[in-house]
Structure 1
Amino acid sequence: MSRSVRLILLSRTAASIVGMATRLVQINMKARDDSALGGFWAAALGWGVSSEGPGVTNLEPEGFVYPDPVAVCLDLVVSPEPKTAKNRVHVDLATTSAVHQAEVVARLRDLGATPADVGQGDVRWAVMVDPEGNEFCVLDPRPLYRDTGPIAAVVVDCADPRAMARFWGKAMDWALHEVTDHQAVLRSAKGVGPYLEFIRTPDVKTGWNRVHLDVRPYPGDDLAAEAARLRALGATVIDLGQDDVPWTVLADPEGNEFCLLTPG
């Protein structure tokens, strides 16, 4: 069943949630071969695979009813443009022990991932890239991520975590857990699923992000009104050549693109 159909079948209880902020529902990753890259990530996460149309591969946990904050889904969307720089958005994978971490790294290498050096130095986590060169981390075991599912965190590089906390903390109904000069950490107010982390880095954003966030208002909310609210918070409307689509493409105050999807 497609996500659009499932959205129509949401209960009237969910539809009664009006006027709330938006929430993170999925990660959009561009791919030269969405099917092949989707196969890698499905095996890496242990998730199911579907497709809402040509050139799009959708990943989510088996038995998952979209949308639910217990998981942030992954959409692979075909794009002919090559990857030319380190992604500013990546995922961190959770592990439960040092042995499990080593097993996950070995399994991912067998699936086609390779170790990567992004200047991380001597760290406890493993930095890797998927078969198309997208960076991700396999974390050392940490109590914070014991109940997140396979994705511990969605991580966004930024120049000013406090500014990101101000924007995203008001943009979404997720709870702000921590904000310092180094990082800002949010999670669904329901206390489930992965964390969203904005990490200070010296890297300068170049070009559009091949990996970006997709957020969705609640049933009954108005897309245009929500877009206006986000613009008032500091977002800007941008044109990436998306033509006539039902969603709105915006950028946060640091220029990171994200899509505001139709309410549901």
Structure 2
Amino acid sequence: MTLRPVLVNIKAVDDTAVGRFWAEALGWTVSGAEPGATAVKPAGFDWLDPVGVCVDVIAVPEPRTATKNRVHLDLATTSAAHRTELIARLRSLGATPVDVGQGEVPWTVLADPEGNEFCVLEPREIYRDTGPIAAVVIDCVDPRVMARFWGGATDWTLHEVSDDHATFRSPKGDGPYFEFLRTPGVKTVPDRVHLDLLRYPSDDQDAETARLRALGATDLDVGQGDVPWRCLSDPEGHEFCVLARSS
């Protein structure tokens, strides 16, 4: 029994506008399967048999607060020229520079039209084959604790762990990395961005949920009501969902 990260879920007041931004930013397609939900995915992506992860933008009534998200995306670039072009294009799409206390760093911190932070990285060899998303980055207090939990929760491979960071990637070496960075402060508000996980067809939803609880997850009520997916949080309170399979 195990799970695969499949979606980066972003909450937005205007899911259509934010979805269009991310589709243009990533060079992916956009679709609205139902009102209040905009899917952003690469051509040919099959969420029931995923390679990498895609993005879902979900409408919520509450605007984003000023609190920095503890989950964000890092975007990959292939050259200095590509990075310059990408930043200019993102600015033209509605991205704005933000200061999250990064100081003098070689990457650029921007925010999408509703203020969700993301980074445009300088070219790095490690991200040469990830596609447009280099990494899904999660702030945490203890990367070793996160590595133990997420290593047990998912089938992704742990590449590196230390007191300061932990890094995972798909066992096939596809798509983005999944990184935990030691960051001052603790989580105090619900995440505006979270991961959705998918079980394998042979695994049982209730059994997977029980397994996650045994690893340290807790049940989470975000007002979801009676839904086929499960809402949980990891040992540091980061929300995530275990999706239901339609086949």
Quick check: TM above 0.5?
yes
Q: CA deviation at 1:109?
A: 0.3
User: Which of 181, 184, 197 pairs up with 1:202?
Assistant: 184
Q: Which runs of 4+ in 1 moved over 6 A?
A: none
Amino acid at match of 2:151: G
User: 2:27 matched to which residue of 1?
Assistant: 46
| Distance in structure 1 (CA, Å) of the matches to 2:210 and 2:44 | 35
For the 8 Å contact 2:95–2:112, the answer to whether it is kept is: yes
Of 37, 60, 69, the match for 1:56: 37
1:248 to 212, 227, 230: 230
- 8 Å CA contact 2:3, 2:197 repeated in 1: yes
Aligned match for 1:97, one of 75, 79, 82: 79
Q: Which residue of the partner structure matches residue 191 of structure 1?
A: 173
Aligned-pair CA distance for 1:204: 2.2
- The aligned amino acid for 1:53 is E
- Selected match of 1:76 from 54, 57, 73: 57
- For residue 26 of structure 2, what is the amino acid of its counterpart? L
CA distance in 2, matches of 1:65, 1:83: 30
Q: Is the alpha carbon distance of 1:118 and 1:202 closer, same or farther for their aligned partners in structure 2, counting shifts above 3 Å?
A: same
C-alpha distance in structure 2 between counterparts of 1:24 and 1:236, whole Å = 18
Deviation at 1:69, TM superposition (A): 4.5
1:134 aligns with 2:116: yes
> Structure 1 residue 143 and structure 2 residue 143: aligned?
no
Partner secondary structure for residue 74 of structure 2 = strand
In the superposition, the TM-score normalised over structure 1's length comes to 0.91
Change (3 A) 1:203 1:67: farther
Please tell me whether the aligned partners of residues 28 and 212 of structure 1 are also in contact (alpha carbons under 8 angstroms).
yes
The answer for unaligned runs of 5 or more in structure 2 is: none
Unaligned runs of 5+ in 1: 1-19
TM-score norm. by structure 2 comes to 0.97
Aligned residue number for residue 137 of structure 2: 155
Give the CA deviation at 1:203.
2.7
Describe the superposition over 1:98-124 as per-residue Cα deviations: whole angstroms up to 9, x where unpaired.
Answer: 111111111100111011110000000
Partners of 1:146 and 1:260 lie apart in 2 by 30
Contact 2:52 2:170 in 1 (8 A): no
In structure 2, C-alpha distance between the alignment counterparts of 1:27 and 1:72, rounded to whole Å: 7
Q: How many residues of Structure 1 are paired with residues of Structure 2 in the alignment?
A: 245
Q: Distance in 2 between matches of 1:114 and 1:70?
A: 30
What residue identity is the alignment partner of 2:43?
E
Moved more, 60-69 or 132-141: 60-69
Task: Kindly indicate whether the alpha-carbon contact (under 8 Å) linking 1:174 and 1:188 is maintained by their aligned counterparts in 2.
Answer: yes
For residue 120 of structure 1, the aligned residue among 91, 96, 102 is: 102
